[in-house]
Amino acid sequence: MNDGEKASSRLRTAMVLGGARSGKSRYAQRLAERSAAERVYVATAAAGDDEMRRRIALHQAERGAGWRTLETPTQICEAVAAHAAPHRAVLVDCVTLWLANLMFAGADVGGAIDQLAQAAAAARGPLIFVSNEVGMGLVPETALGRDFRDWQGKANQRLAEVCGLVVFVAAGLPIRLKPSAESAYHLS
Protein backbone atom coordinates (compact mmCIF):
# COMPACT_ATOMS: atom_id res chain seq x y z
CA MET A 1 0.00 0.00 0.00
CA ASN A 2 1.48 3.38 -0.97
CA ASP A 3 1.30 6.55 1.17
CA GLY A 4 -1.70 7.89 -0.76
CA GLU A 5 -3.65 4.69 -0.15
CA LYS A 6 -2.69 4.77 3.55
CA ALA A 7 -3.87 8.36 3.89
CA SER A 8 -7.17 7.65 2.15
CA SER A 9 -7.84 4.63 4.36
CA ARG A 10 -7.12 6.42 7.66
CA LEU A 11 -9.89 7.11 10.10
CA ARG A 12 -11.88 10.17 9.12
CA THR A 13 -15.31 9.65 10.63
CA ALA A 14 -16.39 7.03 13.12
CA MET A 15 -19.40 6.27 15.26
CA VAL A 16 -19.14 4.18 18.40
CA LEU A 17 -22.46 2.82 19.69
CA GLY A 18 -23.34 0.83 22.77
CA GLY A 19 -25.43 0.66 25.88
CA ALA A 20 -24.75 2.42 29.16
CA ARG A 21 -21.37 1.48 30.68
CA SER A 22 -20.55 -0.71 27.67
CA GLY A 23 -17.03 0.65 27.17
CA LYS A 24 -17.94 2.78 24.14
CA SER A 25 -16.32 6.00 25.45
CA ARG A 26 -13.09 4.20 26.32
CA TYR A 27 -12.99 2.59 22.87
CA ALA A 28 -13.70 5.94 21.14
CA GLN A 29 -10.94 7.59 23.17
CA ARG A 30 -8.44 4.96 22.02
CA LEU A 31 -9.50 5.55 18.40
CA ALA A 32 -8.89 9.28 18.80
CA GLU A 33 -5.53 8.74 20.49
CA ARG A 34 -4.38 6.54 17.60
CA SER A 35 -5.69 9.00 15.00
CA ALA A 36 -3.91 12.25 15.94
CA ALA A 37 -1.47 13.69 18.43
CA GLU A 38 -3.73 16.68 19.02
CA ARG A 39 -7.17 15.84 20.40
CA VAL A 40 -10.33 17.78 21.24
CA TYR A 41 -13.06 16.31 23.43
CA VAL A 42 -16.48 17.84 22.76
CA ALA A 43 -18.46 17.25 25.94
CA THR A 44 -22.25 17.47 25.70
CA ALA A 45 -23.03 16.71 29.36
CA ALA A 46 -24.25 19.49 31.63
CA ALA A 47 -23.31 19.20 35.30
CA GLY A 48 -26.80 19.70 36.69
CA ASP A 49 -26.25 17.85 39.96
CA ASP A 50 -23.52 16.32 42.14
CA GLU A 51 -23.84 12.87 40.60
CA MET A 52 -23.34 14.26 37.08
CA ARG A 53 -20.40 16.38 38.27
CA ARG A 54 -18.78 13.18 39.61
CA ARG A 55 -19.37 11.39 36.28
CA ILE A 56 -17.84 14.28 34.34
CA ALA A 57 -14.81 14.37 36.68
CA LEU A 58 -14.34 10.61 36.24
CA HIS A 59 -14.41 10.93 32.43
CA GLN A 60 -11.88 13.78 32.59
CA ALA A 61 -9.56 11.75 34.83
CA GLU A 62 -9.81 8.71 32.53
CA ARG A 63 -8.84 10.84 29.51
CA GLY A 64 -5.77 12.24 31.21
CA ALA A 65 -3.44 14.79 29.68
CA GLY A 66 -3.29 15.54 25.98
CA TRP A 67 -6.93 16.50 25.55
CA ARG A 68 -8.52 19.90 25.08
CA THR A 69 -12.10 19.84 26.38
CA LEU A 70 -14.95 21.93 24.95
CA GLU A 71 -18.14 21.90 26.99
CA THR A 72 -20.94 22.49 24.53
CA PRO A 73 -24.28 20.87 25.36
CA THR A 74 -25.95 21.84 22.07
CA GLN A 75 -23.45 23.47 19.67
CA ILE A 76 -21.53 20.42 18.45
CA CYS A 77 -21.91 21.24 14.74
CA GLU A 78 -20.05 24.49 15.34
CA ALA A 79 -17.38 22.70 17.40
CA VAL A 80 -16.83 20.13 14.67
CA ALA A 81 -16.56 22.81 11.99
CA ALA A 82 -14.13 24.87 14.07
CA HIS A 83 -11.86 22.08 15.33
CA ALA A 84 -11.82 19.13 12.92
CA ALA A 85 -8.49 19.22 11.08
CA PRO A 86 -6.15 16.65 9.52
CA HIS A 87 -3.74 16.89 12.49
CA ARG A 88 -6.45 16.94 15.19
CA ALA A 89 -8.98 14.31 16.24
CA VAL A 90 -12.35 15.48 17.53
CA LEU A 91 -14.30 13.18 19.86
CA VAL A 92 -17.96 14.05 20.49
CA ASP A 93 -19.26 12.37 23.65
CA CYS A 94 -22.12 11.98 23.44
CA VAL A 95 -24.84 12.32 20.82
CA THR A 96 -27.42 10.98 23.28
CA LEU A 97 -26.98 13.81 25.77
CA TRP A 98 -26.86 16.32 22.91
CA LEU A 99 -30.26 15.08 21.71
CA ALA A 100 -31.73 15.31 25.21
CA ASN A 101 -30.37 18.86 25.55
CA LEU A 102 -31.92 19.84 22.22
CA MET A 103 -35.28 18.33 23.12
CA PHE A 104 -35.39 20.09 26.48
CA ALA A 105 -34.47 23.37 24.73
CA GLY A 106 -37.37 22.92 22.28
CA ALA A 107 -35.01 22.92 19.28
CA ASP A 108 -35.70 21.54 15.82
CA VAL A 109 -34.22 18.10 16.52
CA GLY A 110 -34.66 16.75 12.99
CA GLY A 111 -32.95 19.79 11.50
CA ALA A 112 -30.13 19.55 14.04
CA ILE A 113 -29.55 15.88 13.19
CA ASP A 114 -29.31 16.75 9.50
CA GLN A 115 -26.86 19.58 10.27
CA LEU A 116 -24.72 17.24 12.35
CA ALA A 117 -24.62 14.66 9.56
CA GLN A 118 -23.59 17.40 7.11
CA ALA A 119 -20.89 18.61 9.52
CA ALA A 120 -19.60 15.04 9.83
CA ALA A 121 -19.49 14.58 6.07
CA ALA A 122 -17.57 17.86 5.70
CA ALA A 123 -15.12 17.23 8.56
CA ARG A 124 -11.52 17.93 7.58
CA GLY A 125 -9.96 15.49 10.04
CA PRO A 126 -10.63 12.52 12.32
CA LEU A 127 -14.07 12.83 13.91
CA ILE A 128 -15.53 10.28 16.32
CA PHE A 129 -19.05 10.21 17.74
CA VAL A 130 -20.15 8.28 20.82
CA SER A 131 -23.84 7.45 21.01
CA ASN A 132 -26.11 5.17 22.99
CA GLU A 133 -28.12 2.43 21.36
CA VAL A 134 -31.46 2.82 23.12
CA GLY A 135 -33.72 0.84 20.80
CA MET A 136 -32.90 -2.61 22.13
CA GLY A 137 -34.81 -2.39 25.41
CA LEU A 138 -38.30 -1.87 26.63
CA VAL A 139 -40.67 0.59 24.97
CA PRO A 140 -40.56 3.78 27.09
CA GLU A 141 -43.64 4.40 29.20
CA THR A 142 -44.08 8.08 28.36
CA ALA A 143 -44.62 9.95 25.11
CA LEU A 144 -41.47 12.00 25.80
CA GLY A 145 -39.47 8.82 26.32
CA ARG A 146 -40.80 7.32 23.09
CA ASP A 147 -40.05 10.54 21.19
CA PHE A 148 -36.51 10.53 22.57
CA ARG A 149 -35.98 6.88 21.62
CA ASP A 150 -37.24 7.60 18.10
CA TRP A 151 -34.98 10.65 17.66
CA GLN A 152 -32.02 8.69 19.01
CA GLY A 153 -32.64 5.94 16.47
CA LYS A 154 -32.90 8.49 13.65
CA ALA A 155 -29.71 10.25 14.75
CA ASN A 156 -27.81 6.96 14.98
CA GLN A 157 -28.98 5.89 11.52
CA ARG A 158 -28.13 9.25 9.96
CA LEU A 159 -24.64 9.38 11.49
CA ALA A 160 -23.94 5.74 10.67
CA GLU A 161 -24.82 6.57 7.07
CA VAL A 162 -22.12 9.27 6.80
CA CYS A 163 -19.42 7.74 9.02
CA GLY A 164 -16.79 5.51 7.46
CA LEU A 165 -16.45 3.34 10.56
CA VAL A 166 -19.30 2.20 12.82
CA VAL A 167 -18.55 0.04 15.85
CA PHE A 168 -20.95 -1.42 18.41
CA VAL A 169 -19.41 -2.01 21.84
CA ALA A 170 -20.87 -4.59 24.22
CA ALA A 171 -19.18 -5.63 27.48
CA GLY A 172 -16.09 -3.69 26.40
CA LEU A 173 -15.80 -5.68 23.18
CA PRO A 174 -15.95 -3.84 19.83
CA ILE A 175 -18.03 -5.31 17.03
CA ARG A 176 -17.42 -3.63 13.69
CA LEU A 177 -20.64 -2.92 11.80
CA LYS A 178 -19.25 -0.76 9.00
CA PRO A 179 -17.24 -1.32 6.92
CA SER A 180 -17.41 -5.05 6.68
CA ALA A 181 -14.54 -7.12 8.02
CA GLU A 182 -13.53 -7.93 4.43
CA SER A 183 -12.80 -4.31 3.50
CA ALA A 184 -9.34 -2.77 3.58
CA TYR A 185 -10.12 -0.07 6.15
CA HIS A 186 -7.23 0.75 8.47
CA LEU A 187 -6.94 2.97 11.50
CA SER A 188 -4.03 5.35 11.48
Residues annotated as catalytic (active site), given as ranges: 59
The C-alpha atoms of residue 158 and residue 152 are separated, in whole angstroms, by 10
3-state secondary structure of 183: coil
E strand or H helix at 70, and its extent? Answer: strand 67-71
The C-alpha atoms of residue 161 and residue 149 are separated, in whole angstroms, by 18
The C-alpha atoms of residue 159 and residue 69 are separated, in whole angstroms, by 22
